[in-house]
Structure 1
Amino acid sequence: MGFLDNLKKQLTLVQVKYLGGHPELSGPSTLGLGSSEGKLILNAGIRPLLEIPLSDIVGLTLEKASHRSAGKAAAGAIIGGALTGGIGLLAGAAFGGRKKDDSVIVLTVKYGVANVDLFFSGANIDTAKTYPQVAKLLH
C-alpha cells in the first residue's frame, strides 16, 4: 500500500475516542474506525488494532447524557453582573452554564460466549454527530 493509499484510508476513518470495554484494548485513546471486507476495523493511525466481523456486532446505541456546571454558571453570573450590570448577570449565567455533552456511543459485540460493550465518544466533534458516521460503517 502506497503513501496515497494510506492517506486516503486515514481520511475515510471516523475519528472517535475509545473509552474502554474490550478485553484486548486499553483505553482511553483516539482511534479511527473504518470498515472493509465485512469487518469493523479499529485503527491507531494506519495500524489496525482490532478487526471485528460485522456479523459479531450485536448492537449500536447512543446513550445521551449531558450536565450543566452550576459552579461555572455562578462564576459567569458574578463576572457578567460585575462588568455590565443586571443584563450581564443573566448573560454570564447562561454562557457560564452551557451544557457539556457526556453522550457515549455503545457498540455491543460478541466476544467468545459473552457480549462486551465498547464505549466511544466523539474525538473532534460532539458524540451525537459522530454516531451516524459510526452507524454508516456497519451497513
Structure 2
Amino acid sequence: MSLFKNLFKNRTKSKQTKKTKAKKHKNLISKLDNFSETYKRDFGLEIMHLGGFPKIKANKNIRITKAGAGRLKINGYPVKVIHIEWNEKGKRSVGKAATGAVVAGVATGGFGAIVGAAVGGRNKDNSTCVMIVEYTNVNYTVYLRGNQKKYNELVYLMS
C-alpha cells in the first residue's frame, strides 16, 4: 500500500511542479515583453536614412529615439515631427522569376518550374517612411527605408 501512496504523492507533486513552472514561464514572458517595450523606448529604432536630414549622409543606418510626445532624436539631434507617412512600394523581378522557372524546371520537371518561378520572382520591399520634421526652426522632409513594421515602431516612439 505504501508503494501506491508514494506513486500518487509523486504524481501530485509533478502536477504542482508543472503548474508552478507554467506560472513562472508566463511571468518571465511578461517581464521580457516589458523589457522589449522599454528597450524600444530607450534605445530606439535602427533604420536606413535615404536622405533629407542635413546633418546625416544619405544611405546610412541611423538610430531614432524618443524625446517626448511628438518629438524624436535622430542620431541625437532633437526634432519635432510634423507629419509622418508610409509609402508602400514593391518590385517583382520578372527576369529572376523566369530564370528560377527554367533552372527548377530542368532540375525537377514541371512542378519545379512553378516553384522556381515563385521563389525566383519574390517581391523586393522598397517601401519608405516619409517624415516632415522641424530642426532648428527649418522643416525638412526625411526619407527612411522601412517596411510597415518599422513604420509602426516609429509611430510607437512618437507616442
**CA–CA separation in structure 2 for the residues paired with 1:130 and 1:94:** 26
Post-superposition offset of 1:104: 0.2
Between the two structures, name the one with larger relative contact order (CA 8 Å, sep ≥ 6): 1
Unaligned residue ranges in structure 1 (runs of 5+): 1-7
**CA–CA separation in structure 2 for the residues paired with 1:119 and 1:101:** 15
TM-score norm. by structure 1 comes to: 0.77
> Deviation per CA, 1:34-87, whole angstroms, max 9, x where unpaired?
0124531112xxxx2x211x3xx2210000000000111011001110101111
C-alpha spacing 1:78/1:11, structure 2 compared with 1 (3 Å): farther
Q: Does 1:78 align with 2:98?
A: no
RMSD: 2.1
Q: Tell me which stretches of 4 or more aligned residues in structure 1 moved more than 2 Å.
A: 8-12, 36-39, 110-116
* 1:18-57 pair list within 5 angstroms: 18-37=49-68, 39-43=71-75, 48=76, 50-52=77-79, 54=80, 57=81
Q: Which of the pair is proportionally richer in helix?
A: 2
Q: Which of the pair is proportionally richer in strand?
A: 1
> Which residue in the other structure is 1:115 paired with?
139
Unaligned residue ranges in structure 2 (runs of 5+): 1-38
Post-superposition offset of 1:20: 0.5
Post-superposition offset of 1:111: 5.1
TM-score norm. by structure 2 comes to: 0.68
